[in-house]
A and B are shown apart, each in its own frame.
Chain A
């Protein structure tokens, strides 16, 4: 890919992140405390490396000639999963992402991003003034709460409809019991296979 496009993407991302961090002073302070360390994010598929330099402002780079204190290596899906998880510290420990170098730096970034709480109302008030921003913010919070509870309810109703009304899927406990039986059967067959093999060897042994 042409470097101009990569630089364009990095410049835009850097600008958005730094703008957002202006409205979350606590996270910005945590990230600034990591200065001047550099973290490399190595995406294996598609092969891309992004360097993050910590400071008063985050700096995103495609090339870095100096020392790198930590490297995170994994495929794009693993990074997307990490980004969409709330508790990034725990998710990073469990994920397929490999950490090389200072795990403290990687965990510091994960902790800071987990606690990210951007004050969108303050961001909006820069454009509209505080009164309008408060009204919009209040309604957005209400809408977001309604969307969250509605999506949970929809998920629950869909599960019940498929399981109880259409009877296309078993109950969770029923399914688990069936899987336990299958697993037990698998182990029994493996044991039986081993026993038959042992008998066959015994029978074929020259007397």
Chain B
């Protein structure tokens, strides 16, 4: 008899097949107030982390960019400005609620023409091989069931020389910061979630999923295993967040 494949959903161990549905529930629940919550929870610092990511993309006019797990489209907007009318940006997210919020926000801000919105699973991307100059994923990888498969897919859709940038919560080595961060994550975050979205469980999952996500060096090794070269990472805010970068050879 074959054993069922399991994975983490926060601190719980669940069937791999179940995780996608559970993550989808979380994001359906928070989609409408996702941006407000991001600003509140990170005190607006998530914008600086994303700004740092943009600097490393090296995107130019005419490039094609995939913003996977792009959610409400804040990176997509910046990419759209940089690639210009001759370039292309694909805003992709597995969750239709998040994608709808992102698409509406883009249209409200006057972004159209060089942007496509696609509902896609990072583990099986509906794009041809070698089709993007840059792939970015900001705060999405920890929600993916099979992270290695997702990284292999990013490698497949990138053009040779193309860059993958993954911005994700990571591990801090500073014991004081770790203590304060843990206290904040497991008390303040669920409380804020309850207050604003009337859903503390989703924000408890957020804190737990961050703890279960691979650390800096482990994720770098996963990049290398997926076929990326010149892999590197940069810690931000004492390692609370890290930006990983790899180049498709």
Q: Do A and B come from one complex?
A: yes
Name A's B-contacting residues (CB within 8 A).
2-4, 7-8, 10-11, 36, 61-66
B238 touches A2 (CB 8 A): yes
Decide if B49 is an interface residue (CB 8 Å cutoff): yes
Bound-state CA distance A4–B58 (Å) is 19
A11 touches B58 (CB 8 A): no
* Other A-B pairs beyond A66-B58, A66-B60, 15, CB < 8 Å: A2-B238, A3-B234, A4-B45, A4-B48, A4-B52, A7-B52, A8-B45, A8-B48, A10-B51, A11-B47, A11-B48, A63-B55, A63-B56, A64-B55, A64-B58
Decide if B101 is an interface residue (CB 8 Å cutoff): no
Interface size class of B (residues with CB under 8 A): 10 to 19
Within the complex, what minimum Cβ distance (angstroms) separates B57 from chain A?
8
Query: In this complex, which of A3, A8, A63, A65 has the most chain B Cβ atoms within 10 angstroms of its Cβ?
Result: A3
Bound-state CA distance A4–B51 (Å) is 9
Name B's A-contacting residues (CB within 8 A).
45, 47-49, 51-52, 55-56, 58, 60-61, 234-238
Given A36-B61, A66-B60, also A4-B55 (CB < 8 A): no
**5 A-B pairs with the lowest CB-CB distances in the bound complex, closest first:** A65-B58, A7-B48, A63-B55, A4-B237, A61-B55
Q: Can you report 29 A-B residue pairs in the complex whose CB atoms are below 8 A from each other?
A: A2-B236, A2-B238, A3-B52, A3-B235, A3-B236, A4-B45, A4-B48, A4-B49, A4-B52, A4-B236, A4-B237, A7-B48, A7-B51, A7-B52, A8-B45, A8-B48, A10-B51, A11-B47, A11-B48, A11-B51, A36-B61, A62-B52, A63-B52, A63-B55, A63-B56, A64-B55, A65-B56, A65-B58, A66-B58
Chain A residue nearest in CB terms to B49: A4
Query: In this complex, which of B51, B52, B56, B58 has the most chain A Cβ atoms within 10 angstroms of its Cβ?
Result: B51
Bound-state CA distance A10–B56 (Å) is 15
Bound-state CA distance A157–B213 (Å) is 70
Bound-state CA distance A8–B47 (Å) is 9
Within the complex, what minimum Cβ distance (angstroms) separates A71 from chain B?
18
Find chain A residues with CB under 8 A from B47 CB.
11
Bound-state CA distance A61–B49 (Å) is 13
Chain B residue nearest in CB terms to A8: B48
Chain A residue nearest in CB terms to B57: A65
Within the complex, what minimum Cβ distance (angstroms) separates A20 from chain B?
20
Find chain B residues with CB under 8 A from A2 CB.
236-238
Bound-state CA distance A147–B60 (Å) is 48
Find chain A residues with CB under 8 A from B61 CB.
36
Find chain A residues with CB under 8 A from B56 CB.
63, 65
Within the complex, what minimum Cβ distance (angstroms) separates A65 from chain B?
4
Find chain A residues with CB under 8 A from B235 CB.
3
Within the complex, what minimum Cβ distance (angstroms) separates A155 from chain B?
43
Query: In this complex, which of B55, B235, B237 has the most chain A Cβ atoms within 10 angstroms of its Cβ?
Result: B55
Find chain A residues with CB under 8 A from B48 CB.
4, 7-8, 11
Within the complex, what minimum Cβ distance (angstroms) separates B156 from chain A?
23
Bound-state CA distance A10–B47 (Å) is 12
Query: In this complex, which of B47, B52, B236 has the most chain A Cβ atoms within 10 angstroms of its Cβ?
Result: B52
Chain B residue nearest in CB terms to A56: B81
Find chain A residues with CB under 8 A from B238 CB.
2
Chain A residue nearest in CB terms to B238: A2
B55 touches A62 (CB 8 A): yes
Find chain B residues with CB under 8 A from A64 CB.
55, 58
Within the complex, what minimum Cβ distance (angstroms) separates B62 from chain A?
12
Bound-state CA distance A61–B55 (Å) is 7
Bound-state CA distance A36–B86 (Å) is 15
Chain A residue nearest in CB terms to B84: A36
Find chain A residues with CB under 8 A from B45 CB.
4, 8
Within the complex, what minimum Cβ distance (angstroms) separates A12 from chain B?
10
Within the complex, what minimum Cβ distance (angstroms) separates A57 from chain B?
9
Bound-state CA distance A4–B235 (Å) is 9
Find chain A residues with CB under 8 A from B51 CB.
7, 10-11
Find chain B residues with CB under 8 A from A65 CB.
56, 58
Bound-state CA distance A11–B45 (Å) is 11
